[in-house]
Structure formats: C-alpha cells, structure tokens
C-alpha cells in the first residue's frame, strides 16, 4: 500500500476540523507550507508539529490536503485565521473556506503551471444483506416480482447486466435472485393468491357470472381464460381473471366443459354460478349446452343460463355486411399499404405535416380479427385527406391507386354506418357495469 493510501488512525485527533479535509478522500502526508514573510502573522508555526489553527480558531487540525502546497493561512496577533491566500496569485479567501473551492481555484487558474497529486478516494465495500435483514430482503424480492409480473418481463431479466447495475445503484446490498428461484417464488405467490380468492368466493352469499374465451398465444398454444363477475356484500361490482387454463391437444366442447366444472369446484363456486358468457364459436356454443344440461340435471339448478356475446354477434353481422362494399375497402387497404411500406412516402407525409403545422398521422391498416379496426382505418384515412391529397400531387405514380370524389363519398357513408356499430360495441364491451340490460335498446337504436 502506498503512502497516500494509508490512514493512520492514531494520527487523527478528536478535535479535527472537518473543513480542512476534502470530502470522501484519504489525505496525503503533505503539511502546510511555511507562511511567507510579511503575511501578517507575528509568530511562525512550530516545526515540531505540522498542525495549525483550524478555520474557526478554536482547535488544531491537520492541514494535510494537497491544496496546502499552494495555499497558506494568514493569522492575526491572537492566532486567529483571518484569510487563506494563494501562494501563486495572492488571491484571498475567507478564513472558513473549505478545501474544495481552494482546489477548484488551483485547477482552474494554475493547472498549466503545476501538477497536483491526486488523492485516493475511499471505497466503502458494503456486505450483502444477512439473516438479520430478512424483512428488507423480502421487500426487495416482492418489488422485483411485482415489476416482472406487471410489466410482463421474462425471468431472464435478472441475468441482465444492465438490470443488475440498476438494482446495485438503487440498493448496493441487495443481491438479485436466480431465474429458478424467482420462478418458484412467483408460482408460490400465485398458489397463495389463488387460495385467498377461493376462500373469498366460498364466503359469498350472492351468485356470480363467468365469461370464458379460448385463444391462441404467439407460440401457438391454446388457453382458456375465465373471468368472474359478481357484486360483493357491500354492493361493489368485482371482476377479475379467475384462471388461465392451458389446453393440450383438441379443445372440444366436452373438454372445455370439464375444465370449467373443475375450476368451479376448486374455487368453491358450486351452486353459485348464475351464467356463462362466451363467443359464438361452435366449440363454446357446444360447451354452453353441456354446461346447461349439467347444471339442470346433475345439480338441479334451473337458473343457470348460457349467453352468447352480443358484441361478437354484432361484429359478425358487420363483417358479413361489409362484403357488399368490399371493393372500396380493398382500395383503401391497398393505398394504405403503399404508404406504410415506403419510408420515402412516410417522410414526405411527415414533412408536409410540419409545413402545415399539423400532427403527423400514419395511416392504420385494419385487422380481420380486431373489432372495429375497419372503421378506425377509414375514419383516420378520412381525417388525413388533406395530407394525402398533397402526397398524391407530389407523387404522380400514386394517382391510379388514390380515391376519386365518388369513392371518397362512399368512404364517408361507410364511416357513418360503422360509427354506430363502433359505439354499440363499446357499450357491450364495458366491464365496469352490467350490459345485458342494454342489448335490446342498443340493437333497436341501430335499426
């Protein structure tokens, strides 16, 4: 260990003036230089002791910072520090000035003429949390799990060097768990929450409604999502995902019914299910029939009803109806595709938006499986007409694919019709209040 990196605790006195030290640095052994003649001090400091009076004049402190090679303290007749003076330019500072601004002065004004020895910074190595810190470790683990689950992050994020660095900056003592441990903790938390939900549903004095839908993930795996809806004892409407069931092989109507009945039993809902709502898929329709028979014959429950989603029924009708206007919709899709797949056209559109001081809009493309996406595509296309007219004028090769006035009128009439369907779908899709009572009135309003 070098001389500058060693701290001799015996040399540090109890009455050290902290203003004489740099923040968080190990001082070197250089002492305050002799005060030049004519500095105003009547008595020279003793050569036996390298200490001098502190800035407050009330005690002694070692002036061991490298700054004192180029600064000295001026004393009065009563041994009080009255100023700190630069040896190089004679600039004066107040008697209580700390070493930081003095060092800044030397670095700024005299850096070319001198070379200041760098001081070693203290590095405090903190130990990781131990057995006595279980509460803190649990809090950090819970927050980590919440972040991963709610942000839908992969378990492998705990192996990311950047994520580790972030956590280290936030709490240097916390060590991230491994992927395997994290996965097990999440599964344990799910089991605990599932048990709590089952206990809560078992205590309900009212009946519940279920909604179910089978969907396919991006990994081509089938899942059955089941949501529960009910009004609690305080007349507050509650709804949340009850389970996400993985389907292997074929998801037939019979297998779907068996999975639902098993879930109802595990969640203490026997005799409490009032209805099941599904889409109009043949599998789910058959499952609803099986469930109705099961409740009526086996459990003697004649109140159970299977409902087909009104929003799904409406959007099936919309899909069939739009076949009558498929030519104009296809032409809009083709034109939108040309723009979306050309960076040159998108840049030109963006530049024109800046000129006319309007927000840049990129044309949307509808998706067959997404409700109201055709309406949203046409509605946004109509809002962009001014920008699109300019784009076509600047790019003559787009004229044949662009709409004429009659076709723009067809788009406008399509929007008027589809807007009613869009609003009706929004009403049917609400989850904050029951919508079954709105079905008749809504359909009547459309007709």
| For range 63-91, the mean pLDDT | 86
Please check whether residues 255 and 218 belong to one and the same domain.
yes
Per-residue confidence (pLDDT) for residue 108, from 0 to 100: 84
Final residue before a domain boundary, out of 308, 338, 361: 308
- The answer to whether residue 373 is domain-embedded is yes
Q: In this predicted structure, what is the pLDDT of residue 133?
A: 87
Q: Does 125 have pLDDT greater than 50?
A: yes
Choose the final residue of a domain: 188, 223, 253. Answer: 188
Higher pLDDT among residues 282 and 121, named by residue: 282
Quick one: average pLDDT of 126-150?
A: 89
Please say whether the dihedral angle defined by the alpha carbons of residues 152, 156, 157 and 158, taken in this order, is positive or negative. Answer: positive
Alpha-helical runs (H) found in 124-281: 134-150, 161-170, 179-202, 253-266
Contacts of residue 374, Cβ cutoff 8 Å, sequence gap at least 6: 318, 322, 329, 366, 418
In the structure, what pLDDT confidence band is assigned to residue 63 with cuts at 50, 70 and 90? low
Give the whole-angstrom CA distance, residue 325 versus residue 307. 31
Q: Are strands 222-231 and 92-93 parallel, antiparallel or unpaired?
A: unpaired
Q: DSSP class of residue 77? A: T
Residue 442 lies in a domain: no
Residue 258 is predicted with a pLDDT of: 92
**Last residue of one domain, picked from the residues 283, 308, 333:** 308
Q: Looking at the structure, do residues 304 and 330 belong to the same domain, yes or no?
A: no
Which CA distances in Å does 287 have to 130, 217, 291, 347, 368?
Answer: 54, 21, 6, 51, 25
Domain for residue 437, yes or no?
A: no
Verify that 50 and 85 share a domain, yes or no. Answer: yes
Q: Quick one: pLDDT at residue 3? A: 42
Each residue's pLDDT tens digit, 14-32: 444 434 444 444 344 444 4
**Choice between 32 and 357, residue whose per-residue pLDDT is larger:** 357
Distances from the Cα of 56 to the Cαs of 69, 85, 105, 252, in angstroms?
21, 16, 22, 88
Q: Is 51 in a helix, a strand, or coil? A: strand
Token couple for 97: 């000035």
Please calculate the CA angle 50-52-53 and round it to the nearest 5 degrees.
160
Closest CA to 73 of 82, 63, 84, 62: 84
CATH code where residue 269 lies: 3.30.420
Mean pLDDT of 218-247: 90
Q: Judge if 303 and 392 occupy the same domain.
A: no
Domain membership of residue 283 (yes or no) is: yes
> Residue 315: is it exposed, middle or buried by C-beta count within 10 angstroms (0-12/13-18/19+)?
buried
Residues 167 and 246 in one domain: no
Q: What is the mean pLDDT of residues 86-109?
A: 88
The answer, yes or no, to whether residue 53 has pLDDT greater than 50, is no
220 and 298 in a common domain: yes
> Is residue 251 located within the same domain as residue 224?
yes
- The pTM of the full predicted model, rounded to 2 decimals, is 0.61
In degrees, rounded to 5, the angle at the alpha carbon of residue 405 between the alpha carbons of residues 407 and 424 is 50
pLDDT recorded at residue 122: 52
SS3 239: strand
398 alpha-carbon distance from chain centroid: 41
Residue 434 lies in a domain: no
pLDDT score of 120: 54
Q: How many domains does the chain have?
A: 4
In the sheet where 92-93 sits, what is the strand order?
71-75, 81-86, 92-93
Instruction: Look at 120-129, 236-245, 289-298 and tell me which has the smallest mean pLDDT.
Output: 120-129
Identify whether residues 215 and 286 lie together within a single domain.
Answer: yes
Give me the pLDDT at residue 188, please.
93
Average pLDDT over residues 319-323: 81
Tokens representing 55? 């800035």
What is the SS3 assignment for 209?
strand
So what's the pLDDT on residue 22? 44
Residue 116 within any structural domain of the chain = no
Kindly state the percentage of the chain with pLDDT values over 70. Answer: 83
Give the mean model confidence (pLDDT) for residues 45-68.
49
Most trustworthy range by pLDDT among 36-50, 148-162, 313-327: 148-162
Q: Which residues of 5-18 are buried (b: 16+ CB within 10 A; e: fewer)?
A: eeeeeeeeeeebbe
pLDDT of residue 189: 93
pLDDT for 128 equals 84
More confidently predicted of 250 and 253:
253
Average pLDDT over residues 157-170: 92
Question: pLDDT category, 117, cuts 50, 70, 90?
Answer: low
Find the helix packing angle between 179-202 and 134-150, rounded to 10°.
80
Quick check: 375 and 318 in contact, CB under 8 A? no
Do 65 and 100 meet the contact criterion of CB atoms below 8 Å apart?
no
User: Are 67 and 29 in contact, with CB atoms under 8 Å apart?
Assistant: no
Q: What is the reported pLDDT for 55? A: 39
pLDDT of residue 283 exceeding 50: yes
Residue 313 resides in a domain:
no
Query: Is residue 15 domain-shared with residue 67, that is, in the same domain?
Result: yes
pLDDT of residue 208: 93
Phi, psi values for residue 100, rounded to 5°: -60, -55
Same-domain status, 217 and 176: no
Please report the pLDDT score of residue 148 as a whole number.
93
Name the average pLDDT for the chain: 81
| Model pLDDT for residues 400-437, shown as the tens digit of each residue | 999 999 999 999 999 998 999 999 998 888 877 788 88
How far apart, in whole angstroms, are the C-alpha atoms of residue 271 and residue 208?
A: 10
Bigger pLDDT: 52 or 216? Answer: 216
Domain hosting 11: range is 3-109
The pair of three-digit structure tokens given for residue 279, joined into one six-digit string:
């889409």
Q: Is residue 203 part of a domain?
A: no
What gap in Å lies between CA 16 and CA 38, rounded to an integer?
Answer: 28
**Is pLDDT larger for residue 61 or for residue 361?**
361
Q: Once rounded to an integer, what is the mean pLDDT over residues 151-174?
A: 91
């Amino acid at each position: 260990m070098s001389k500058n990196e060693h701290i001799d605790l015996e040399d540090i006195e109890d009455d050290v003036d902290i203003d004489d030290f740099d923040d968080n640095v190990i001082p070197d052994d250089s002492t305050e230089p002799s005060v030049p003649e004519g500095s105003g001090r009547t008595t020279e400091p003793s050569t036996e002791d390298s200490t001098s009076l502190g800035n407050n004049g009330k005690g002694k402190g070692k002036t061991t910072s490298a700054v004192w090679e180029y600064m000295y303290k001026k004393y009065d007749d009563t041994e009080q520090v009255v100023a700190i003076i630069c040896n190089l330019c004679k600039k004066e500072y107040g008697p209580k000035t700390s070493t930081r601004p003095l060092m800044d002065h030397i670095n700024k004004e005299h850096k070319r003429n001198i070379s200041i020895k760098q001081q070693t910074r203290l590095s405090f190595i903190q130990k990781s949390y131990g057995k006595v810190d279980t509460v803190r470790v649990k809090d950090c683990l819970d927050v980590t799990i919440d972040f991963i689950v709610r942000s839908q992050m992969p378990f492998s994020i705990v192996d990311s060097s950047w994520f580790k660095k972030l956590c280290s900056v936030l709490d240097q003592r916390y060590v991230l768990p491994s992927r395997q441990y994290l996965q097990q903790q999440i599964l344990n938390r799910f089991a605990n929450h599932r048990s709590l939900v089952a206990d809560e549903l078992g205590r309900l004095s009212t009946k519940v409604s279920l909604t179910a839908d089978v969907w396919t993930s991006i990994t081509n795996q089938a899942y059955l999502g089941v949501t529960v809806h009910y009004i609690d004892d305080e007349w507050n409407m509650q709804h949340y995902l009850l389970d996400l069931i993985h389907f292997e092989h074929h998801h037939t109507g019979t297998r779907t019914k068996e999975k639902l009945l098993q879930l109802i039993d595990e969640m203490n809902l026997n005799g409490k299910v009032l209805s099941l709502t599904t889409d109009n898929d043949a599998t789910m329709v058959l499952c609803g029939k099986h469930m109705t028979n099961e409740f009526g014959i086996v459990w003697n429950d004649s109140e159970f009803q299977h409902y087909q989603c009104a929003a799904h029924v409406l959007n099936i009708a919309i899909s069939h109806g739009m076949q009558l206007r498929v030519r104009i919709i296809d032409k809009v899709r083709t034109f939108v595709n040309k723009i979306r797949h050309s960076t040159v056209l998108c840049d030109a559109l963006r530049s024109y938006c800046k000129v006319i001081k309007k927000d840049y809009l990129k044309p949307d493309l509808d998706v067959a499986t997404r409700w109201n996406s055709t309406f949203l595509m046409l509605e946004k296309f109509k809002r962009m007409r001014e920008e699109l007219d300019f784009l076509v004028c600047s790019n003559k090769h787009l004229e044949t694919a662009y709409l004429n006035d009659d076709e723009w009128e067809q788009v406008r009439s399509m929007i008027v019709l589809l807007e009613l369907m869009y609003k009706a779908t929004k009403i049917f899709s609400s989850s904050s209040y029951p919508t079954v009572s709105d079905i008749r009135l809504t359909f009547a309003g459309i007709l």
